[in-house]
Homo-oligomer: A and B are copies of this chain.
């Protein structure tokens, strides 16, 4: 045999395989989210995995690489830069701008798809993930934003989260802009700092800093607004360099957010703090309208709260911003409490389509991140009993009986029972080990003797496992509750259904 150079089978860093029940769980979750989006009357859309880079733009939150979080490369056709999509909003803007004359306006669409980001991977953080997006393009009214918020709440409940187990948190970029105006830090034409060799407005850096409140706490943010702070590794992180006068309104704003909770209470405090600025006043007015429509639809503060510290990393938001938070108390396998935090979000982006059309096109939307939700729901008892059983294994002990084995397999399937015939080589022990690895609930066994007598043996594989754990005197249960029964060939299906009635999943 020719010597073959062995390749290393390996994944690209930050990517992963998903196998078996996890795939099925995800598909079920996506189907339920889809049905809510459908019920709300949004149209499904699919756009390509690849787009021109300039069409997508680079709107991701600050990343530390020159790639700015985007996988890009040259299109072999025209040598232009193309990129893997990193969200579903930029492609929607492109699609709407391209076809707006033929599309109904407002254009309400949902899209469920995979995106890739060249960002730092970590535990539970991958570079490819699935988003379930919901957007309305061409609607300036706050009723469009409210609808998005309600649909997300309904989607979370459809996948099994209890009310109170999640919360939509809402803020408005206009309010943040009002705050920056008040602090004397305009979004354009103000001071700059150099980040990754590029000049960045101090106002933008302040927003990014506020966005880290969750992780750094109030004191961490205060230090980063000033000269800087030491991180966990002891390295010094340079701050935004604000003066005490510049910092004061921002810190007051943070304190407000930590001290207020009800939607009306937050509205009143925001009115006092930023209502006098043009942007801030508009922002508060929009939030008031959102509050009014949410209340009319019966979505109270348990489901949708106002939180002035919500910023959202993506650069294109212009109005209300949303963040979906899991509030369930969960523990990991070792019993330690786990905080899942954000599982989705979005906001209004009135200028994203403008890049193509030259004129403002109001738009709003949000996204649910399926992968983190799956992880979270694994740790939560959601009462989901729909997961199907693994297949029944039809063992193949006698080569001359292959046709009969195949016939039995098809017979089980015809009764809606997941079933497979063992195609590998190996003895009975090896086949049962395979069944064990697969989690098969039952095995069908037939030798030539049984075949001639029209009989077949059925083994309840879970009973075997359970009993050998629980009962010490094997001889006793073997007689009373045999894990293996011999039945007539025509009773095979019923014998399997009897076992299924005993075990679930």
Q: Which residues of A contact B (CB under 8 A)?
A: 4, 6-20, 23-24, 26-27, 31, 34, 38-52, 54-55, 65, 67, 71, 73-78, 82, 84, 93-95, 97-99, 103-106, 108-109, 114, 116, 118, 128, 136, 138-141, 143-144, 146-147, 150, 292-293, 296-298, 354-358, 388, 390-392, 396, 402-403, 406-407, 410, 413, 416, 418-425, 434, 437-438
Q: Which residues of the other chain, B, contact A65 by a CB distance below 8 angstroms?
A: 76
Interface of A is mostly: mixed
Given contacts A128-B48, A147-B421, A421-B147, A95 and B17 within 8 Å (CB-CB)? yes
Tell me if B52 and A98 are in contact (CB < 8 A). no
User: For the complex, what is the distance from the CA of A136 to the CA of B118, rounded to whole Å?
Assistant: 33
20 A-B contacts, Cβ less than 8 Å apart? Answer: A10-B55, A12-B52, A17-B46, A20-B44, A23-B46, A24-B44, A27-B44, A40-B419, A48-B128, A50-B116, A50-B128, A71-B76, A104-B437, A106-B422, A139-B424, A141-B424, A144-B423, A147-B420, A293-B403, A298-B410
Instruction: Find the B residue at minimum CB distance from A43.
Output: B20
Tell me if A418 and B7 are in contact (CB < 8 A). no
Tell me if A34 and B43 are in contact (CB < 8 A). no
Tell me if A46 and B67 are in contact (CB < 8 A). no
Q: Which residues of the other chain, B, contact A293 by a CB distance below 8 angstroms?
A: 402-403, 406
Instruction: Find the B residue at minimum CB distance from A82.
Output: B12
Tell me if B297 and A407 are in contact (CB < 8 A). yes
Tell me if A41 and B390 are in contact (CB < 8 A). yes
Given contacts A10-B55, A84-B49, A413-B39, A296 and B406 within 8 Å (CB-CB)? yes
User: For the complex, what is the distance from the CA of A7 to the CA of B425, rounded to whole Å?
Assistant: 61
Given contacts A6-B358, A9-B97, A46-B17, A41 and B420 within 8 Å (CB-CB)? yes
Instruction: Find the B residue at minimum CB distance from A138.
Output: B424
Q: Which residues of the other chain, B, contact A76 by a CB distance below 8 angstroms?
A: 65, 67, 71, 118
One of B55, B103, B391 near A7 (C-beta < 8 A): B55
Tell me if B402 and A75 are in contact (CB < 8 A). no
Q: Which residues of the other chain, B, contact A143 by a CB distance below 8 angstroms?
A: 396, 402, 406, 421, 423
Given contacts A46-B18, A128-B50, A406-B297, A355 and B6 within 8 Å (CB-CB)? yes
Tell me if A48 and B16 are in contact (CB < 8 A). yes
Q: Which residues of the other chain, B, contact A12 by a CB distance below 8 angstroms?
A: 48, 50-52, 75, 77, 82
Q: Which residues of the other chain, B, contact A403 by a CB distance below 8 angstroms?
A: 292-293, 296-297
Tell me if B407 and A296 are in contact (CB < 8 A). yes
Tell me if A7 and B54 are in contact (CB < 8 A). yes
Tell me if A47 and B420 are in contact (CB < 8 A). no
Q: Which residues of the other chain, B, contact A296 by a CB distance below 8 angstroms?
A: 403, 406-407
Q: Which residues of the other chain, B, contact A17 by a CB distance below 8 angstroms?
A: 45-48, 95, 99
Q: Which residues of the other chain, B, contact A42 by a CB distance below 8 angstroms?
A: 420
Q: Chain B nearest CB: distance from A82 CB in Å? A: 6
User: For the complex, what is the distance from the CA of A300 to the CA of B180, rounded to whole Å?
Assistant: 75
Tell me if B49 and A116 are in contact (CB < 8 A). yes
Given contacts A67-B76, A297-B407, A48 and B15 within 8 Å (CB-CB)? yes
Tell me if B424 and A105 are in contact (CB < 8 A). yes
Instruction: Find the B residue at minimum CB distance from A54.
Output: B7
Q: Which residues of the other chain, B, contact A84 by a CB distance below 8 angstroms?
A: 49-50
Given contacts A4-B354, A297-B410, 12 further A-B contacts (CB under 8 A): A4-B358, A6-B356, A7-B55, A12-B51, A13-B75, A17-B48, A20-B45, A41-B392, A104-B434, A104-B437, A106-B424, A140-B425
Q: Chain B nearest CB: distance from A298 CB in Å? A: 8
Instruction: Find the B residue at minimum CB distance from A414.
Output: B39
Instruction: Find the B residue at minimum CB distance from A30.
Output: B27
User: For the complex, what is the distance from the CA of A420 to the CA of B105, rounded to whole Å?
Assistant: 13
Given contacts A9-B55, A108-B420, A358-B4, A19 and B45 within 8 Å (CB-CB)? yes
Instruction: Find the B residue at minimum CB distance from A98.
Output: B9
One of B7, B31, B45, B421 near A18 (C-beta < 8 A): B45
User: For the complex, what is the distance from the CA of A355 to the CA of B50, rounded to whole Å?
Assistant: 30
